[in-house]
Amino acid sequence: MNDATALLLAGAAGIILGTIFFGGLWWTVRQGISSKRASLWFASSLLLRIAIVLSGLYLVGGRDWRRLALCLVGFALARLAVLALTRPSPLAQPSQPAKASHAP
């Protein structure tokens, strides 16, 4: 495999790892809000997501700093993509209640 292909695959792996991490975070928050054991959801999700990402970075980066750097760039790009995809639209947000006026 030539160098450019390896770097391209490292960036793609970073996007996949970032999607797993930040998509998993979004899913955990959605599940944890309605759960009676929210702390268990958040703690186990954090440990699982960190284990997956660190293992992936270790495998992808190997001993080449360029592959690790591109993997981290892909990870950051995935964060932006997950933020854009999971942000509620302005139409879906509830309207602000009117402030109560007080009698003089």
What pLDDT is recorded for position 91?
74
Per-residue model confidence (pLDDT) at position 90 = 75
The kind and range of the H/E element at 14 are helix 3-33
Give the pLDDT of residue 76: 96
Give the pLDDT band (50/70/90) at residue 100: low
pLDDT digits (tens, 9 = 90+) for 49-78: 999 999 999 999 888 999 999 999 999 999
- Whether pLDDT at 104 is above 80: no
Check residue 20 and give its pLDDT.
Answer: 96
Separation of alpha carbons 36 and 14, rounded Å: 33
Domain boundaries, the chain: 3-86
